Amino acid sequence: MRKYKDKETNQLSKVFCNRCGKKMKVKDGIIMEGNFSIEYNWGFFSNKDCERHIIDLCEDCYDEMVREFKVPVDIEQNVELL
C-alpha cells in the first residue's frame, strides 16, 4: 500500500507490505529495499470486472509466496537495470 506526500507530484512518502504490514524504507520518494509491486486491471470474464488492484509486497513475503507455487517462477538475470 502506497501513501503519497502530494497527489499532484506522485512523490511517495510511505510504502507498506500488503501481506505483513511492514513499513518499507522510502527516501526522497524512492523505495530503498526490495519491493514487488503489482498493478492489475481486471478484464471481462472475471469476478472482478473493471477493478484495478494495486499490491506491494516486501521481499520476504514475495519469497514466501513463490515458494508455494506448483510451477516455479522463471528467473532470468538482467544485464542492465533501467
Using one digit for the tens of pLDDT, what is the confidence trace for 69-82? 999 999 999 887 76
Domain residue spans of the chain: 2-67
Q: What is the chain's Cα-based Rg?
A: 15
- pTM of the complete model: 0.80
Using one digit for the tens of pLDDT, what is the confidence trace for 9-37? 778 889 999 999 999 999 988 899 999 99
DSSP state letters, the chain: -EEEEETTTTEEEEEE-TTT-PEEPEETTEE-S-EEEEEEE--TTSTTTT-EEEEEEEHHHHHHHHHT-SSPPP----S---
